[in-house]
């Protein structure tokens, strides 16, 4: 069976996805959905099985719900999606018996990095995250950093302890934190996607790092998610379950 895949978005990620699909023996690109098109009208005339969307937090929900209504399974790599939408998406998937994947990061190494960080979390009282991305990224902190901090605190079963300086010589320099994990966001040209998770304890430190050096790094995860949704009948958050890490 050949899986027909629509790519939502015509940017750098969309172009990379089309290239990856063309290299897969059991997949083929089934068209490109750009922002000027009406998703409902597009999917009503499409014979696609899956849509891959990396557009943004405003566009992705519109595309995903239109796709499901037409029997097309969404694979979404957009961060910043609202909990209400994720609940709605989960309900629709179960109602229609169609799979969907929403993941903050499709790089397999990044998913493994997050998994290792959750394994380490119960053994350390302090942790910080440095996430580094290109200067065109629209959100901060990254979805990967937020998901990592949440998963670490969940595994630890309580928030991390956090340094609170007596004086901030530059106001706001220690203000961004989730579950006690201070998150630092770096935005520079030349970067793609990088993250360090730093754990500290008396007399020792542990650093876990992953680097995506090109957008090609995300494609194996996208391909795995496409295969997954074809056999799933519900929403899957993250790639951990797809990779057998859960």
Q: What is the mean pLDDT of residues 120-128?
A: 97
Structure tokens, 82: 């609202």
Q: What is the mean pLDDT of residues 6-15?
A: 88
- Nearest of 87, 94, 37 to residue 66 by alpha carbon: 37
Q: Which residue segment(s) compose the domain that 80 sits in?
A: 3-102+216-237
Please indicate, yes or no, if residue 41 is contained in any of the structural domains.
Answer: yes
Query: Could you give phi then psi for residue 111, rounded to 5 degrees?
Result: -65, -40
Percent above pLDDT 70 for the chain: 100
Q: Tokens 């629709």 belong to which residue? A: 92
Same domain, 142 and 82: no
Sheet holding 181-187, edge to edge: 177-178, 181-187, 126-133, 193-201, 204-212
Same domain, 122 and 155: yes
- Nearest of 213, 187, 241, 222 to residue 9 by alpha carbon: 222
The predicted-structure confidence for 24-68, as pLDDT tens digits, reads as follows 999 999 999 988 899 999 999 889 999 999 988 899 999 999 999
The predicted-structure confidence for 63-95, as pLDDT tens digits, reads as follows 999 999 999 999 999 878 899 999 999 999 999
Q: Is the peptide bond before 232 cis (omega within 30 degrees of 0)?
A: no
Q: State the total domains in the chain.
A: 2
Cα–Cα distance measured from residue 180 to residue 184, given in angstroms and rounded to the nearest whole number: 13
Task: Return the active site residues.
Answer: 133, 137
Same domain, 12 and 78: yes
Please indicate, yes or no, if residue 242 is contained in any of the structural domains.
Answer: no
């Amino acid at each position: 069976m050949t899986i027909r895949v629509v790519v939502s978005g015509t940017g750098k990620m969309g172009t990379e996805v089309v290239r990856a699909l063309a290299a897969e023996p059991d997949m083929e690109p089934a068209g490109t959905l750009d922002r000027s098109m009406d998703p409902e009208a597009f999917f009503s005339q499409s014979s696609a099985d899956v849509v891959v969307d990396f557009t943004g937090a405003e566009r992705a929900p519109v595309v995903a719900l239109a796709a499901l209504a037409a029997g097309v399974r969404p694979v979404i790599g957009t961060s910043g999606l609202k909990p209400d939408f994720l609940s709605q998406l989960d309900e629709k998937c179960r109602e229609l018996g169609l799979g969907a994947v929403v993941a903050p990061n499709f790089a397999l190494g990044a998913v493994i990095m997050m998994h290792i960080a959750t394994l380490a979390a119960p053994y350390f009282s302090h942790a910080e995250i440095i996430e580094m991305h290109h200067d065109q990224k629209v959100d901060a902190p990254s979805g990967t950093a937020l998901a990592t901090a949440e998963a670490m605190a969940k595994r630890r079963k309580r928030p991390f302890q956090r340094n609170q300086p007596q004086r901030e010589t530059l106001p706001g320099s220690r203000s961004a934190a989730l579950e006690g994990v201070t998150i630092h966001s770096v935005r520079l040209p030349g970067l793609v996607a990088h993250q360090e998770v730093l754990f500290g304890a008396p007399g020792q430190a542990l650093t876990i790092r992953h680097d995506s050096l090109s957008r090609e790094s995300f494609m194996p995860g996208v391909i795995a998610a496409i295969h997954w949704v074809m056999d799933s009948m519900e929403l899957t958050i993250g790639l951990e379950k797809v990779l057998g890490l859960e």
